[in-house]
C-alpha cells in the first residue's frame, strides 16, 4: 500500500506540475486556434490524472481537503470540456446521459460539502460547496429548461470550467505547500487573483454578444462532434 501511495503521489505531482504551466500557455495563445486546442487538451488530461490521484490518496488516507479539491477540480474540468460539445444546447440539441449523471452527482456532492462547511465552519468546504452548488444549479437549470442558451453561453462555461479547475489545483498546491502564507490566505489567494480578470474577460465577451456578434467573431470556433 505504501508503495502504491508513493507512486500515486509522484503521478499526482507530475500531472499537477504539467497543468500548472500548461494552463497559462493555453490562455496566452489565440483562442480556439490549433495551439489553444492542443494545450487545452494537455491541461484537461493533466487535471484528470491529478484529480483521480488526489481522490485515491484522499480516500485511502482520509484527507478531506484533498478530497474536496480533487472533486472540485475534476468536475470543473469536465464542465469546461463538455461545454464545447453543447454549443447548440436547446436548439435541437439535448444533453447526453453523461451530462445528466455528472451534473446530478456534482450537485449532490457540493450540497453535502456546503452543509458540512456550514456545520463545521471549514473554509474550503464553504467556498467549494457554494461555488459548486451555484455552478451545478445553473447547469441543471439550463438542461431542464430545454430552451436556447444565451448567446455564447457555451464559451463562457468553457472559460469558467477550465479556469475554475486551474484555480482549484493551484489552491490545493498553495494550501499544502506554501506554508509561509497564513491560513486561509494560502487557500484563497488564487481565487482572489484569478477570478477578477476572468470575470472581466467574460463581461467583455457578453457585451460583444449583446451587440449581435457571434462567438465565431471573437474566437476561432470549431463545431465538435456530439458525444453522449
pLDDT digit string, tens, across residues 180-193: 999 888 888 998 99
Phi and psi at 89, nearest 5°, equal -60, 125
pLDDT digit string, tens, across residues 132-181: 899 899 889 888 886 777 888 889 999 999 999 999 889 888 888 888 99
Residue 12 Cα distances to 3, 30, 74, 166, 181, angstroms:
14, 29, 13, 14, 23
How would residue 109 be classed by pLDDT, with cut points 50, 70 and 90? Answer: confident
What pLDDT was estimated at residue 172? 84
What pLDDT was estimated at residue 198? 93
Q: How far apart are CA 189 and CA 177, in angstroms?
A: 14
What pLDDT was estimated at residue 222? 67
For residue 73, the number of C-alpha atoms closer than 13 Å in the C-beta half-sphere is 33
Chain center to CA of 194: 13
**What is the CB neighbour count within 10 angstroms for residue 28?**
11
What pLDDT was estimated at residue 213? 86
Q: How far apart are CA 5 and CA 56, in angstroms?
A: 8
The domain segmentation of the chain, as residue ranges, is: 2-216
What pLDDT was estimated at residue 188? 86
Average pLDDT value for residue range 8-25: 90
Amino acid at each position: 500500500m505504501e508503495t502504491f501511495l508513493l507512486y500515486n503521489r509522484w503521478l499526482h505531482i507530475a500531472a499537477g506540475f504539467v497543468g500548472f504551466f500548461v494552463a497559462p500557455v493555453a490562455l496566452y495563445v489565440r483562442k480556439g486556434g490549433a495551439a489553444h486546442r492542443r494545450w487545452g487538451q494537455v491541461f484537461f488530461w493533466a487535471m484528470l490524472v491529478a484529480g483521480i490521484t488526489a481522490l485515491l490518496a484522499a480516500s485511502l488516507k482520509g484527507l478531506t481537503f484533498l478530497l474536496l479539491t480533487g472533486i472540485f477540480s475534476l468536475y470543473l474540468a469536465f464542465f469546461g470540456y463538455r461545454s464545447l460539445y453543447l454549443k447548440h444546447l436547446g436548439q435541437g440539441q439535448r444533453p447526453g446521459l453523461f451530462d445528466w449523471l455528472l451534473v446530478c452527482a456534482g450537485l449532490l456532492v457540493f450540497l453535502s460539502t456546503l452543509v458540512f462547511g456550514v456545520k463545521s465552519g471549514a473554509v474550503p468546504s464553504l467556498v467549494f460547496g457554494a461555488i459548486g452548488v451555484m455552478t451545478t444549479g445553473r447547469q441543471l437549470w439550463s438542461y431542464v429548461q430545454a430552451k436556447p442558451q444565451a448567446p455564447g453561453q457555451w464559451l463562457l462555461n468553457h472559460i469558467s470550467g477550465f479556469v475554475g479547475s486551474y484555480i482549484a489545483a493551484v489552491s490545493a498546491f498553495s494550501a499544502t505547500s506554501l506554508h509561509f502564507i497564513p491560513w486561509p490566505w494560502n487557500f484563497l489567494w488564487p481565487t482572489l487573483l484569478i477570478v477578477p480578470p476572468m470575470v472581466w474577460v467574460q463581461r467583455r465577451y457578453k457585451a460583444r454578444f449583446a451587440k449581435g456578434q457571434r462567438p465565431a467573431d471573437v474566437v476561432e470556433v470549431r463545431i465538435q462532434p456530439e458525444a453522449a
